[in-house]
Protein backbone atom coordinates (compact mmCIF):
# COMPACT_ATOMS: atom_id res chain seq x y z
CA UNK A 1 0.00 0.00 0.00
CA UNK A 2 1.43 3.35 -1.06
CA UNK A 3 2.40 5.75 1.68
CA UNK A 4 1.16 9.24 0.93
CA UNK A 5 2.52 12.21 2.85
CA UNK A 6 0.87 15.60 2.65
CA UNK A 7 3.22 18.54 3.16
CA UNK A 8 1.58 21.85 3.89
CA UNK A 9 3.40 24.95 2.68
CA UNK A 10 2.31 28.39 3.75
CA UNK A 11 3.00 31.64 1.91
CA UNK A 12 6.72 32.14 1.41
CA UNK A 13 8.22 34.05 4.31
CA UNK A 14 5.52 33.07 6.83
CA UNK A 15 6.84 31.74 10.18
CA UNK A 16 5.26 30.32 13.31
CA UNK A 17 5.21 31.99 16.70
CA UNK A 18 7.51 29.20 17.95
CA UNK A 19 10.08 29.96 15.25
CA UNK A 20 9.89 33.66 15.99
CA UNK A 21 10.45 32.98 19.70
CA UNK A 22 13.45 30.72 18.99
CA UNK A 23 15.00 33.35 16.76
CA UNK A 24 14.47 35.95 19.44
CA UNK A 25 16.61 33.89 21.85
CA UNK A 26 19.20 33.04 19.20
CA UNK A 27 18.32 29.36 18.88
CA UNK A 28 17.55 29.69 15.15
CA UNK A 29 19.39 31.61 12.45
CA UNK A 30 17.82 34.89 11.17
CA UNK A 31 14.99 34.48 8.76
CA UNK A 32 16.24 34.78 5.12
CA UNK A 33 15.00 37.70 3.08
CA UNK A 34 11.97 37.04 0.92
CA UNK A 35 12.85 36.87 -2.77
CA UNK A 36 11.67 39.90 -4.73
CA UNK A 37 12.16 40.20 -8.49
CA UNK A 38 13.78 43.35 -9.84
CA UNK A 39 11.21 46.05 -10.63
CA UNK A 40 10.23 46.38 -14.27
CA UNK A 41 11.59 49.54 -15.87
CA UNK A 42 10.14 50.40 -19.29
CA UNK A 43 13.04 52.79 -20.00
CA UNK A 44 15.38 49.81 -20.21
CA UNK A 45 13.59 48.73 -23.39
CA UNK A 46 14.03 51.32 -26.19
CA UNK A 47 10.71 50.28 -27.70
CA UNK A 48 8.88 50.79 -24.40
CA UNK A 49 10.51 53.93 -23.05
CA UNK A 50 8.33 57.07 -22.92
CA UNK A 51 8.23 58.91 -26.23
CA UNK A 52 9.71 62.39 -26.31
CA UNK A 53 10.94 65.02 -28.74
CA UNK A 54 14.45 63.56 -28.40
CA UNK A 55 13.08 60.11 -29.29
CA UNK A 56 11.56 61.56 -32.46
CA UNK A 57 14.82 63.37 -33.34
CA UNK A 58 16.67 60.03 -33.34
CA UNK A 59 14.47 58.68 -36.12
CA UNK A 60 15.37 58.80 -39.80
CA UNK A 61 12.82 60.04 -42.37
CA UNK A 62 12.06 56.42 -43.29
CA UNK A 63 11.48 55.46 -39.66
CA UNK A 64 9.23 58.48 -39.13
CA UNK A 65 7.15 57.46 -42.13
CA UNK A 66 6.73 53.95 -40.74
CA UNK A 67 5.62 55.06 -37.28
CA UNK A 68 1.99 54.20 -36.63
CA UNK A 69 -0.27 56.50 -34.65
CA UNK A 70 -0.34 53.86 -31.90
CA UNK A 71 3.40 54.40 -31.39
CA UNK A 72 2.61 57.87 -30.08
CA UNK A 73 -0.46 57.12 -27.97
CA UNK A 74 1.39 57.93 -24.74
CA UNK A 75 2.07 61.47 -25.99
CA UNK A 76 -0.50 62.39 -28.61
CA UNK A 77 0.88 65.88 -29.12
CA UNK A 78 4.02 64.29 -30.58
CA UNK A 79 2.09 63.43 -33.72
CA UNK A 80 2.31 67.07 -34.78
CA UNK A 81 5.97 67.16 -33.79
CA UNK A 82 6.63 64.08 -35.88
CA UNK A 83 5.00 65.69 -38.91
CA UNK A 84 7.01 68.88 -38.38
CA UNK A 85 10.32 67.02 -38.10
CA UNK A 86 9.53 64.96 -41.19
CA UNK A 87 8.75 68.13 -43.16
CA UNK A 88 12.03 69.72 -42.00
CA UNK A 89 14.02 66.65 -43.05
CA UNK A 90 12.36 66.54 -46.44
CA UNK A 91 13.02 70.25 -46.98
CA UNK A 92 16.67 69.87 -45.96
CA UNK A 93 17.11 67.00 -48.39
CA UNK A 94 16.03 69.29 -51.24
CA UNK A 95 18.75 71.85 -50.50
CA UNK A 96 21.56 71.76 -53.06
CA UNK A 97 24.84 71.05 -51.30
CA UNK A 98 28.25 72.02 -52.66
CA UNK A 99 30.96 71.78 -49.97
CA UNK A 100 34.15 72.82 -51.80
CA UNK A 101 35.70 75.60 -53.88
CA UNK A 102 35.20 74.47 -57.48
CA UNK A 103 37.52 75.75 -60.24
CA UNK A 104 35.72 77.11 -63.32
CA UNK A 105 36.80 78.62 -66.64
CA UNK A 106 35.56 81.71 -68.44
CA UNK A 107 33.17 79.63 -70.55
CA UNK A 108 31.64 78.16 -67.38
CA UNK A 109 30.95 81.49 -65.69
CA UNK A 110 27.43 82.16 -66.98
CA UNK A 111 26.21 78.64 -66.29
CA UNK A 112 27.89 78.22 -62.88
CA UNK A 113 27.45 81.75 -61.52
CA UNK A 114 24.95 83.93 -63.37
CA UNK A 115 22.49 81.08 -63.89
CA UNK A 116 22.80 79.53 -60.43
CA UNK A 117 19.47 78.89 -58.62
CA UNK A 118 17.86 82.09 -57.32
CA UNK A 119 18.02 80.99 -53.68
CA UNK A 120 21.75 80.16 -53.87
CA UNK A 121 24.48 82.64 -52.95
CA UNK A 122 27.63 82.28 -55.06
CA UNK A 123 31.08 83.35 -53.84
CA UNK A 124 33.56 83.81 -56.72
CA UNK A 125 37.30 84.00 -56.01
CA UNK A 126 39.38 85.80 -58.65
CA UNK A 127 42.97 84.58 -58.26
CA UNK A 128 46.26 83.77 -59.90
CA UNK A 129 48.74 81.06 -59.04
CA UNK A 130 51.90 82.36 -57.41
CA UNK A 131 50.18 85.19 -55.54
CA UNK A 132 50.58 84.32 -51.80
CA UNK A 133 47.56 86.37 -50.75
CA UNK A 134 45.37 84.33 -53.10
CA UNK A 135 46.55 81.14 -51.45
CA UNK A 136 45.73 82.44 -47.96
CA UNK A 137 42.22 83.47 -48.93
CA UNK A 138 41.62 80.23 -50.83
CA UNK A 139 42.47 78.22 -47.69
CA UNK A 140 39.88 80.18 -45.69
CA UNK A 141 37.25 79.73 -48.39
CA UNK A 142 37.82 75.97 -48.47
CA UNK A 143 37.05 75.85 -44.74
CA UNK A 144 33.91 77.96 -45.18
CA UNK A 145 32.75 75.81 -48.10
CA UNK A 146 32.66 72.76 -45.82
CA UNK A 147 30.90 74.66 -43.02
CA UNK A 148 28.29 76.23 -45.32
CA UNK A 149 27.57 73.61 -48.03
CA UNK A 150 24.43 75.38 -49.29
CA UNK A 151 26.52 78.38 -50.41
CA UNK A 152 28.30 77.86 -53.72
CA UNK A 153 32.04 78.63 -53.83
CA UNK A 154 33.95 78.80 -57.13
CA UNK A 155 37.34 80.13 -58.20
CA UNK A 156 38.49 81.44 -61.56
CA UNK A 157 41.76 82.88 -62.87
CA UNK A 158 41.24 86.63 -62.77
CA UNK A 159 42.07 87.35 -66.44
CA UNK A 160 39.82 84.50 -67.58
CA UNK A 161 36.96 86.27 -65.88
CA UNK A 162 37.90 89.90 -66.58
CA UNK A 163 40.47 90.52 -69.36
CA UNK A 164 43.50 92.58 -68.22
CA UNK A 165 42.35 92.52 -64.58
CA UNK A 166 45.24 94.03 -62.53
CA UNK A 167 47.21 91.64 -60.35
CA UNK A 168 47.45 94.35 -57.68
CA UNK A 169 43.72 93.83 -57.00
CA UNK A 170 44.15 90.15 -56.19
CA UNK A 171 42.63 88.38 -54.51
CA UNK A 172 39.14 89.65 -55.31
CA UNK A 173 35.83 88.16 -54.31
CA UNK A 174 32.58 88.69 -56.22
CA UNK A 175 29.32 87.80 -54.48
CA UNK A 176 26.39 86.82 -56.72
CA UNK A 177 22.74 86.13 -56.01
CA UNK A 178 19.83 85.79 -58.41
CA UNK A 179 22.13 86.46 -61.38
CA UNK A 180 23.41 89.81 -60.13
CA UNK A 181 26.54 91.05 -58.36
CA UNK A 182 25.71 91.82 -54.73
CA UNK A 183 29.20 92.61 -53.48
CA UNK A 184 32.83 93.13 -54.54
CA UNK A 185 35.69 92.71 -52.07
CA UNK A 186 39.10 93.72 -53.44
CA UNK A 187 42.37 92.76 -51.76
CA UNK A 188 43.24 90.69 -48.70
CA UNK A 189 42.92 93.71 -46.40
CA UNK A 190 39.14 93.33 -46.61
CA UNK A 191 39.49 90.11 -44.62
CA UNK A 192 42.18 90.99 -42.08
CA UNK A 193 45.29 90.91 -44.24
CA UNK A 194 47.77 88.06 -43.89
CA UNK A 195 46.25 87.21 -40.51
CA UNK A 196 42.87 86.44 -42.05
CA UNK A 197 40.92 83.47 -40.72
CA UNK A 198 37.80 81.65 -41.95
CA UNK A 199 35.85 83.57 -39.32
CA UNK A 200 37.12 87.01 -40.42
CA UNK A 201 36.36 86.12 -44.04
CA UNK A 202 32.87 84.94 -43.05
CA UNK A 203 32.11 88.19 -41.24
CA UNK A 204 33.29 90.23 -44.25
CA UNK A 205 31.13 88.19 -46.63
CA UNK A 206 28.03 88.64 -44.46
CA UNK A 207 28.54 92.33 -43.77
CA UNK A 208 25.73 93.34 -46.13
CA UNK A 209 23.85 90.11 -46.97
CA UNK A 210 23.23 86.62 -45.52
CA UNK A 211 25.69 85.05 -47.94
CA UNK A 212 26.60 81.95 -45.92
CA UNK A 213 24.04 79.16 -45.64
CA UNK A 214 24.58 75.86 -43.82
CA UNK A 215 21.45 74.31 -45.32
CA UNK A 216 19.52 74.20 -42.01
CA UNK A 217 18.49 77.82 -41.47
CA UNK A 218 16.09 78.73 -44.25
CA UNK A 219 15.36 82.43 -44.84
CA UNK A 220 17.89 83.45 -42.18
CA UNK A 221 18.50 87.17 -41.88
CA UNK A 222 21.91 88.81 -42.16
CA UNK A 223 22.02 89.28 -38.38
CA UNK A 224 21.12 85.61 -37.79
CA UNK A 225 23.95 84.47 -40.06
CA UNK A 226 26.46 86.84 -38.43
CA UNK A 227 25.41 85.63 -34.98
CA UNK A 228 26.01 82.06 -36.14
CA UNK A 229 29.42 82.98 -37.52
CA UNK A 230 30.40 84.69 -34.26
CA UNK A 231 29.26 81.65 -32.28
CA UNK A 232 31.45 79.37 -34.40
CA UNK A 233 34.32 81.84 -34.05
CA UNK A 234 34.06 81.70 -30.25
CA UNK A 235 33.82 77.90 -30.30
CA UNK A 236 36.98 77.79 -32.43
CA UNK A 237 38.87 80.06 -30.01
CA UNK A 238 37.79 77.94 -27.03
CA UNK A 239 38.86 74.73 -28.78
CA UNK A 240 42.25 76.24 -29.71
CA UNK A 241 42.75 77.42 -26.13
CA UNK A 242 41.91 73.96 -24.75
CA UNK A 243 44.27 72.29 -27.25
CA UNK A 244 47.09 74.68 -26.30
CA UNK A 245 46.46 74.03 -22.61
CA UNK A 246 46.57 70.25 -23.17
CA UNK A 247 49.79 70.57 -25.19
CA UNK A 248 51.51 72.69 -22.54
CA UNK A 249 50.48 70.27 -19.78
CA UNK A 250 52.13 67.42 -21.68
Residue pLDDT, tens place only, 37-71: 777 665 555 555 555 566 666 666 666 666 655 45
pLDDT digits (tens, 9 = 90+) for 20-46: 777 777 777 777 777 677 776 655 555
pLDDT digits (tens, 9 = 90+) for 82-119: 677 666 666 655 556 788 999 999 999 999 999 999 88
What's the CA gap between 81 and 18, in Å, rounded?
64
What's the CA gap between 226 and 204, in Å, rounded?
10
Relative to beta strand 172-177, strand 121-127 is antiparallel
Where in the chain are the domains? 51-94, 101-238
Look at residue 67 and give its three-state secondary structure.
coil
What top-level class would CATH report for the domain 101-238?
alpha beta
Q: Comparing 132 with 215, which gets the higher pLDDT?
A: 132
pLDDT digits (tens, 9 = 90+) for 214-226: 776 555 665 666 6
- Reported residue count of the chain is 250
Q: CA 153, 94, 87, 65 torsion: positive or negative?
A: negative
CA 68 to chain centre: 27
Amino acid sequence: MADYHFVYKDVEGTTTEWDDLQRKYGNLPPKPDTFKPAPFTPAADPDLRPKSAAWIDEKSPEELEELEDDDLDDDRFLQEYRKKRLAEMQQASKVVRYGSVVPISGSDFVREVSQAPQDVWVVVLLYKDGVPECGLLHTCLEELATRYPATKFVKIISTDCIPNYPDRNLPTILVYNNGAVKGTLVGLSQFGGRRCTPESVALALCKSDPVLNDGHSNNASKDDVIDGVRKKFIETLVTQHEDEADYSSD
